[in-house]
Structure 1
C-alpha cells in the first residue's frame, strides 16, 4: 500500500494553504494587511474576539476582508489541472496521480476482476489526506463513477465498505463546497436511486458499526430536498432498520440515526410508519437515560417534534406519559432550537389535544415552573404563544398555587405571590 501512497499522493503548493488551518483554501479572502486566509478560518478568528492579523499579529484598523478572486481561480485550476499537460515537476506529480485516478474510476465502473482492487485503492487514496479528497471530489467523472460503483456494490459488504467510506470522507469535507461537486454526486446517486439506496440499506442492515454510521451520514447528505427525503423514507425496510439501531447502537450511531430520521420524515405516511415502529418508545428511553448527552437530547426532541405533527404521533405520545415527563426534564436545560421542539411537543399534547393525563403528568413534573423559566430566558413569536397557552391550561391543575408563584403574561418575569 506504500506504493499506492507514493503513486497517488498530491503535493499542495504552500500558497494555496490557509495560514490558520493549513488546508487548501475554499474561499480565499484578504485582510487589510495583505495576508490571505480561508474565509471560514478568518471568520472564526475574528468572531472569537481577536483584533489582529493571525500571521503578522498586527492590530487591524479594519476587520473587513475582500475575496481574493485571482487566488481562487488559481486554486480551481490547480484542482482540475489533471486534464492539462504538465509544465513543472509539481504538475508532473499531479498528472501522474490523475492518470492513475482516471484508471481507477474506469475500474470501479465495471464488473471486471479489477473492480474490488480499484475500489480498495480509491478508498486508500481518499483516506490518505484531505488534499487527496479535495482533488478527488472535483475530479472529472468522479460523481458518475462513484454512483455506478455504489449501485454495483449491492449485497457485497466488502465493496460497500470501500465505496461508502469514500463517499463519507469526501462529502463530509467537500459536500457543501462552492464548486457544486457535492450536488453533482448527490444527483448522480439519486439518478440510480433504486439500486443505490438499496445498497446503502443493505450496508446498514449487515455492515459493521463503522459502516452503519458512514452509511447513515451519506443518506443524510443525499436528503437534500423534499423528493429525495421521500425516496429515502420509502426505501424498503430502511426505516425499520434505523429504528432498530436506536435500541442497541452506540452514541455516535444513535445520533446519526436520529438526525437522519428527523430529516427524512417529511410525509404523514413516513411519520405514521415511525410511530408504528415504536420510535416514541425508543426516543423516550434515550431521553431518560442518564448517559444521554445534551446534543443527543436535542436530536431526540427534534424527532419528537417531527412525529407529533401527525395524529398517530400525538396519540402514541399521549399514551406514553414517560415521554412527556422526559421532555419536561430536558426542557429546563435545552438550547434555543431544542426548546422550540420541546415546547411544540408539550403544546401539541396539552393544548391541541387537551390530553388531561399528559397535563397532570407535566404538572407533577413542575411543568409550570419550567415553562416560566423558559419565558424568562427569553422567547419570541410562536414559542412565547405556546408558553402562554401552556401556562393557562396547566394552571387549572392548581400547580402555580402549590409553587407559590403567579404569572403576568404581559411580561417575562416570575413574581412571588
Structure 2
C-alpha cells in the first residue's frame, strides 16, 4: 500500500482516456488512440461504433497491442514500486520520472556498452526523455555520436525485434533534428563490410515492418522515407527484396490510418524513378490502391495519397494497362473526382485524362461511361475547379463527343442541359 505521504505523478499518456487509470494492457484503435483493453472492450460491447476520444466512426473494431507503451508503463511501474517498498521511499516527482540530461547521457553510453535487456532499458530512458519536449529532442540530436550509435545498432539484426523497435522509436523522435541528412542517408544505406550486396539497416527496417508493433512500424516507415532523398537511394530501397511488397501489405483497410498514411507517403517518396514505378505495378500496387479506394471512412489525406500514386503509375505503360484492365479501379478513381478535396480532384482527373484522352484506351473509356463518368465530368466543369482541371475535363469531353448519342441515353434528362455540344 502506498503511504499517504508518497506523492506519485503519473505521465498523462500512461492513463486510459476512458477510465483515467494507468493502463494495464494498452491497445490502439484504427484511429490511432490508445486505451486500456478492458475499458475499450466494454465500450464496444455496449454497441458503440465510435472512438471515445475523437468520436470518429470506426471502420473496424479490431485493436492492436501497443507493446512499446506497455514496456514504458512496466518500467515506470517497477521503478515506482521499488520506491514504495523501500524504507527510504520518498515522493516521486515528475522530474524524477523523466531522466535528467546527465542520466540520459549515461544511458547513451550504456547503449553502446550494454547488451540485451540492459540496452532496451537504456533506450526506453532515452525515448522517455525525448518524448518530454522538443528542446530535449534537439539536445539528443546534438549529442556527439548519438545518432551514429543508433544507426550502428540498426546494422545488427541479431539484437532482436524489441531492441530494433526501441532504436527506431528513438531515431524517429530526433529525425527532424539531424543536420547532416546526407551523412545519415549514406550511413543507413552503407553495405556490409563482408562484401555481401545488401544493407543491414534495410534488413532491420524490414524486420520491424514484418514483426513490430504498429507504432514501431510507423517509426520504421518514417525513417525509410527520410533516407529516400535521391534517385540512387530510392533505387536501393526498392531493390531490397521484400521491402516494397511489405509496405504494400501494410496498406490494408484493417491497419491503422496513421500506418496506412505513412506507408503511402513513403511509397510516393520512392516511386519517382521509372524502374520503381514499374516494380510497384508488378507487385500489384494498382490492385492494392483500387481496393483501398473502395473502402468507406477513408481520411482525406489517405485518398489524396492513393490518387497521387495512381497518377504516378499512369505515367508508365505498365501502370496504364493495369488501371485500364480493372474497371473497378477506373470507377473508384471517378468516384473520388468530387467532394474530397481539390488535391484529390486534380490527381483523379489527371489519371483519367492520361488513360482516356492522352493514350485513348478503349477499356478505360468504356469504364468511365459505364460508371456515369460523363455526368460527373460535366458537373465538375460547373464547379469552382482549377484551370488545369477544367482543361483536362474539357479534353475528356471531346473523347465522348463522337459517341455522345449513345452516352446521352444513359443519363437523366435533368443533366443533359449542361452538355457543351
**Do they superpose with TM above 0.5?**
yes
* 1:378 corresponds to: 385
Segment of structure 1 superposing worse, 371-380 or 237-246: 371-380
- Deviation of the 1:257 alpha carbon: 1.3
Does the aligned pair in 1 maintain the 2:157–2:203 contact within 8 Å? no
With over 3 angstroms needed to count, the CA separation of the structure-2 counterparts of 1:102 and 1:181, relative to structure 1, is farther
* 1:144 corresponds to: 148
TM-superposition CA deviations, 1:327-374 (whole Å, max 9, x none): 111011232322221122101211233222221221233323322343
Alpha-carbon distance in structure 2 between the residues aligned to 1:133 and 1:153? 25
With over 3 angstroms needed to count, the CA separation of the structure-2 counterparts of 1:287 and 1:112, relative to structure 1, is closer
- Deviation of the 1:182 alpha carbon: 5.6
Does the aligned pair in 2 maintain the 1:155–1:202 contact within 8 Å? no
Alpha-carbon distance in structure 2 between the residues aligned to 1:370 and 1:260? 31
With over 3 angstroms needed to count, the CA separation of the structure-2 counterparts of 1:152 and 1:116, relative to structure 1, is farther
SS in 1 for 2:143: coil
Structure 2: 5+ residue runs without aligned partners? 1-8, 10-95, 192-197
* 1:360 corresponds to: 366
Does the aligned pair in 2 maintain the 1:147–1:189 contact within 8 Å? yes
Task: Choose the corresponding residue for 1:296, options 291, 295, 302.
Answer: 302
With over 3 angstroms needed to count, the CA separation of the structure-2 counterparts of 1:103 and 1:183, relative to structure 1, is farther
How many residues align structurally? Answer: 310
Alpha-carbon distance in structure 1 between the residues aligned to 2:358 and 2:220? 37
* 1:13 corresponds to: none
Does the aligned pair in 2 maintain the 1:154–1:199 contact within 8 Å? no
**1:198 corresponds to 2:210:** no
- TM-score of the superposed pair, with normalisation by structure 2: 0.66
Alpha-carbon distance in structure 1 between the residues aligned to 2:387 and 2:114? 58
Task: Choose the corresponding residue for 1:271, options 261, 267, 277.
Answer: 277
Alpha-carbon distance in structure 2 between the residues aligned to 1:330 and 1:97? 50
* 1:413 corresponds to: none
SS in 2 for 1:331: coil
With over 3 angstroms needed to count, the CA separation of the structure-2 counterparts of 1:240 and 1:155, relative to structure 1, is farther
With over 3 angstroms needed to count, the CA separation of the structure-2 counterparts of 1:269 and 1:184, relative to structure 1, is closer
Alpha-carbon distance in structure 2 between the residues aligned to 1:378 and 1:291? 24
- Deviation of the 1:197 alpha carbon: 1.4
Alpha-carbon distance in structure 1 between the residues aligned to 2:243 and 2:319? 19
Q: With CA pairs under 8 Å and 6+ residues apart, which has the higher RCO, 1 or 2?
A: 2
SS in 2 for 1:334: coil
* 1:78 corresponds to: none
Alpha-carbon distance in structure 2 between the residues aligned to 1:406 and 1:111? 73
- Deviation of the 1:325 alpha carbon: 0.4
With over 3 angstroms needed to count, the CA separation of the structure-2 counterparts of 1:112 and 1:213, relative to structure 1, is closer
- Deviation of the 1:234 alpha carbon: 1.7
SS in 2 for 1:302: helix
* 1:108 corresponds to: 111
> Superposed, which structure 2 residues align to 1:65-84 within 5 Å?
none
**1:404 corresponds to 2:416:** yes
**1:167 corresponds to 2:192:** no
Alpha-carbon distance in structure 2 between the residues aligned to 1:284 and 1:155? 38
Structure 1: 5+ residue runs without aligned partners? 6-92, 409-416
* 2:88 corresponds to: none
SS in 1 for 2:403: coil
Segment of structure 1 superposing worse, 118-127 or 399-408: 399-408
- Deviation of the 1:208 alpha carbon: 1.8
With over 3 angstroms needed to count, the CA separation of the structure-2 counterparts of 1:155 and 1:198, relative to structure 1, is farther
With over 3 angstroms needed to count, the CA separation of the structure-2 counterparts of 1:290 and 1:203, relative to structure 1, is same
